[in-house]
Structure 1
Amino acid sequence: MIPFDVSSVKGDLNIGKVSWEAPSNIALVKYWGKKGLQLPMNSSLSLSLSSSKTRTTLSWKKKSDGKGVTFDLFFEGKKKLQFQKKISTFLKRVEEKIPSLKDYHLQFDSENTFPHSVGIASSASSMASLALCLGSFAAYSGVESFLGDTFFKEVSSIARLGSGSACRSIYGGWASWGPYEIDDNEKGSNFYATPFTRIDSLFEEMSDFILIVDSAPKKVSSTEGHALMQGHPFAKGRVLQAESNMKKLVDSILKGDWDAFQSVVENEALSLHSLMMSSKNPYILMHPRSLAVIEKIKEMRAKTGVKCCFTLDAGPNIHLLCPKSEKVVVKRFVENDLKGFLENERWIEDSVGDLGPKVLEC
């Protein structure tokens, strides 16, 4: 990736601003459960989306008292007090890497290119875009670790402090996070994500049909779900399963093996929800119509041999993935056979985005 150019910053260190957009991502091997300060219990692998993004502008103004960072957060033009605690915690963590933040008042103005509660990871894209803006401020301030080729690695590391999955949204295409080492050139880390670049042509262009089964707020947040993995009876087995699935999935992507890819992706999706249902305080986030859609996908695939597979994040909505070569057939299937199972017949068409984050004019 091209290193950040500090000339993208407008203004100076007294009063200035910078803008970024960052993609959402969908994990194929799921990150579920954490330890320490936002470190994953297991490795994960995701693909970033091309159209589902968060755009954030960070404006800063130097203060005279130096008594600690203060901030305001606006989302789609409205001040969002409900995110105050989360962002405050995030900034306190980031201050260790960017100490000069304590001398500033910050304003974040964010907006999404996608609707809320539709199965798209908004926390990943939003915290990634915030981290990119803060990393740009750090680079402009001369913090050495944010200069040059280490910029995106450092930004991924601070994005993780706000939302674990956000560290993978610092890259376009495919990214891994956790101890799994793809090869000597792409070594894994618990502290930041790593781009995964050696993709077989079958997986270079992928479509993602996001099927909105239910847009109601989740009854159990992902933060609460991660916490329930502490002391979970299957926690140790889950770590072993995830690392095994990482190897299988990476091999399938390198070799262009769709059947193996499909098997791992769907196993991971259903395993994630089985962990929720078998936790100390069991809960169910899938909807009966989620199961109906999954059965329809399996039936169509068995009859036609079309290459497509499903995955879910921690919620009821489904991502239906396919190679670009199957896009027309799968889109027709969604319109003709699945639409009736969806909330207000809503679905979103997206694809794997290779370009990743982008600095914007502001």
Structure 2
Amino acid sequence: MTSKATARAHPIQGLVKYHGLRDEADRHPYHDSISVCTAPSNTTTTVEWEPDASEDTYVIDGEPVEGRGAERIDNVVDAIREHAGFDHAVRVESENSFPSNVGFGSSASGFAALAYAACEAAGLELTRPEVSTFARRGSSSAARAVTGAYSDLHTGLNDVDCRSERIETGVGELDGEPFDPESDLRIVTALVPSYKETEAAHREAADSHMFDARRAHVQDQLAEARDALREGAFHRIFETAEHDSLSLAATTMTGPAGWVYWQPETIAVFNAVRELRTESDVPVYFSTDTGASVYVNTTADYVDRVESRIAEVGVDTNVWEVGGPARTVDDALF
């Protein structure tokens, strides 16, 4: 047992998103979900098991974590403690390189880095799919951030079934040139700062009259996305992601709280993307998770033009690429 380790993980953009949980404690989703990790955005987390300490301590971006945030961290570290067969206290410090709670998947990278570092520090020799089952207990999306790139979290009622696996992608063709989903994708992020509460949306998901329709429809979305990724088919992959974003929003907006998280800038980005695609024949699609910020998916050849147009909306932009799996790093936070 090494007792201390540092890990880094990338957040995710949901392509076919999960919504709602069968089991809130172990965070078993109702159906599979597919995402792509985004880099260079990342979370770095250092974990040290402290057998002589009397209590756990959690710090994120320099601030102590309490309340529900601490409970979610407890879910992860308690499961790892049980698996490792000890009852040591733990010290956790974490830093994000990008804004959190704005719809850019910070909980995914956060719990992925936590689980990976905690397992490494405990001396557990586990595969990434196995580590993903611990990360899932903090955030279902974190399971996919452990395995990285394009990953699929399978539904299930136990850790053998409900884990993430990497999807192997193929090279397709776009505009007469090869398109590799892992090296050629560019993601223009449109930051729309608007705090969102994802847990509340998941908790009331099944109360929407649209929920059963989404569960039926999402199976076709999953099949389409998997096949398109294996074919390297840009338009099929990201048209599916765009359509799924609208389906997810329809379900959240028709829940008991009538939760609308899009802002005027969000809609303006949607319109700019559709204008580029329909009037200028640019390969570009939008995608959102549960938040007001937008992912704009395009290719390396078109990214400068797309970013320029999105910036005209009046939002802050960045350009991200496909990120890899969670991994250990040397630059410890303490």
Deviations 1:214-271 (A, max 9, x none): x1322xx111111112333222221121111011112222223333223211110111
TM-score by length of 2: 0.88
TM-score by length of 1: 0.82
Alpha-carbon distance in structure 2 between the residues aligned to 1:118 and 1:231: 24
Q: Does 1:197 align with 2:168?
A: yes
Matching residue within 350, 353, 357 for 2:320: 350
AA in 1 matched with 2:6: S
Alpha-carbon distance in structure 2 between the residues aligned to 1:189 and 1:308: 37
Aligned pairs for 1:1-362 within 5 A: 9=2, 16-36=3-23, 37-63=26-52, 70-82=55-67, 83-100=69-86, 102=87, 104-138=88-122, 140=123, 146-147=124-125, 150-179=126-155, 190-201=161-172, 202=179, 203-205=181-183, 206-213=185-192, 215-218=193-196, 221-330=197-306, 334-335=307-308, 337-342=309-314, 345-353=315-323, 355-361=324-330, 362=332
Deviations 1:152-195 (A, max 9, x none): 12210100011110000012311001259xxxxxxx97521000
8 Å CA contact retained: 1:177, 1:189: no
Question: Root-mean-square deviation (CA), in Å?
Answer: 2.2
Distance apart, 1:299 and its partner CA: 1.0
Are residues 126 and 341 of structure 1, via their aligned partners in 2, closer, same or farther at CA, if it must alter by over 3 Å? same
Alpha-carbon distance in structure 1 between the residues aligned to 2:258 and 2:160: 31
Alpha-carbon distance in structure 2 between the residues aligned to 1:190 and 1:329: 43
Alpha-carbon distance in structure 2 between the residues aligned to 1:236 and 1:230: 8
Distance apart, 1:88 and its partner CA: 2.7
Q: Which moved more, 1:47-56 or 1:258-267?
A: 258-267
Alpha-carbon distance in structure 2 between the residues aligned to 1:284 and 1:231: 16
Structure 1: where are the runs of 5+ without partners? 1-5, 10-15, 141-145, 181-187
Distance apart, 1:77 and its partner CA: 2.9
8 Å CA contact retained: 2:72, 2:137: no
Greater percentage in helix: 1
Distance apart, 1:319 and its partner CA: 0.2
AA in 2 matched with 1:171: T
8 Å CA contact retained: 1:285, 1:316: yes
8 Å CA contact retained: 2:242, 2:286: yes
Moved over 4 A (4+): none
Distance apart, 1:285 and its partner CA: 0.3
Deviations 1:32-71 (A, max 9, x none): 111123111111111111211100111222138xxxx831
Identity %: 21
AA in 2 matched with 1:137: A
Query: How many residues matched?
Result: 318
Are residues 231 and 96 of structure 1, via their aligned partners in 2, closer, same or farther at CA, if it must alter by over 3 Å? farther
Alpha-carbon distance in structure 2 between the residues aligned to 1:17 and 1:256: 40
Whichever of the two has the greater Rg, that structure is 1
